[in-house]
Structure 1
Amino acid sequence: MTPQLDFIGMIVTDMAASVAFYRRLGLDFPADSDQQEHVEAALPNGLRLALDTEALVKSFHSEWTPPTSRGRLGIAFSCADPTEVDTIYDELVAAGYHGEKKPWDAFWGQRYAIVHDPDGNSVDLYAALPTATP
């Protein structure tokens, strides 16, 4: 058997803040997730995104320490169209999240933007640009 990617796990500093952020991006966590040490959201493609508190990780890996720099993990969310990229980016920044890079038309044919989740992980938003007609 070949191993199959099934689960993406992230260690978070503040569960409530992280759950609130990812809910704004449409992930469905159980109602009491902000009070838990481990939560999962099923993704449409069958994967699961899990959030674990630092305390939970330290409970079974006492030598673990949080990384000292940002950007060790990046995830991306596909948006319906370029306008949605702009809207979601603006909503997240207005809600107090760090906007790393404002929406732009990337040379590879997508509207693209980058925000940071509460732990500083890069979260990209993208949508295909309309193709030019000759």
Structure 2
Amino acid sequence: MEARVNLITIWTDDISPMKEFYNKVLGFKIENDLGEYIEFENEGARFALCTREVMYEYSEEYKKKSMGQSFELAFKCKDLDDIDRSYQYIISNGGNAVQEPRNMPWDQRTALFSDPDGNIHEIFVDIK
């Protein structure tokens, strides 16, 4: 095995609002839509959404409800104006507000939002 992430899949029980959010709000273009599996165009690691139900026949583990924040996606912004604009756009188009943009002690301005399933993600810009 190579220690390198090749694919990131977000598992969901309701793919329609997730597809809409990642495509229309965050701007990921759909590369492949098989209904219960959607892969987006992404530089680097492949990025997808998939219903848990697809995997039920392979493992009972996919039937377990997940609890807590298991992962975070972080999206880099161009500049300070971009992070504020992006945050407002995401929140006014279906993202859930978690933390408004603010300067952090590690020399970044960050903001947090969640997707329709409640997964918390970050947008950031370096301020130094």
Same fold (TM over 0.5): yes
- Written as runs of structure 1 = structure 2, the 5 A alignment for 1:1-134 is 2-23=2-23, 24-30=25-31, 33=33, 36-44=35-43, 46-63=44-61, 64-67=63-66, 69-129=67-127, 131=128
- Letter aligned with residue 83 of structure 1: D
Q: How far off its partner does 1:13 sit?
A: 2.4
Percentage of identical aligned residues: 25
2:36 partner amino acid: E
Asked if the contact 1:11/1:53 (under 8 Å) is kept, the reply is yes
* CA deviation after TM superposition for structure 1 residue 51, in Å: 0.8
Cα deviation per residue 1:20-65 (whole Å; 9 max; x = unaligned)?
Answer: 22122221114x83x7111112322x21111111221224223422
TM-score, normalised with respect to structure 2: 0.86
For the pair shown, the structure with the greater C-alpha radius of gyration is 1
C-alpha distance in 2 between matches for 1:90 and 1:122: 16
Q: Hey, what's the Cα distance between the residues in 2 that align with 1:79 and 1:126?
A: 6
The list of structure 1 runs, each at least 4 consecutive aligned residues, that deviate by more than 3 angstroms after superposition, is none
Q: CA contact under 8 A between 1:70 and 1:120: conserved in structure 2?
A: no
Residue correspondences, number: 126
TM, length-normalised to structure 1: 0.82
For structure 1, list consecutive stretches of 5 or more residues without a partner in the other structure: none
CA RMSD of superposed structures (Å):
1.9
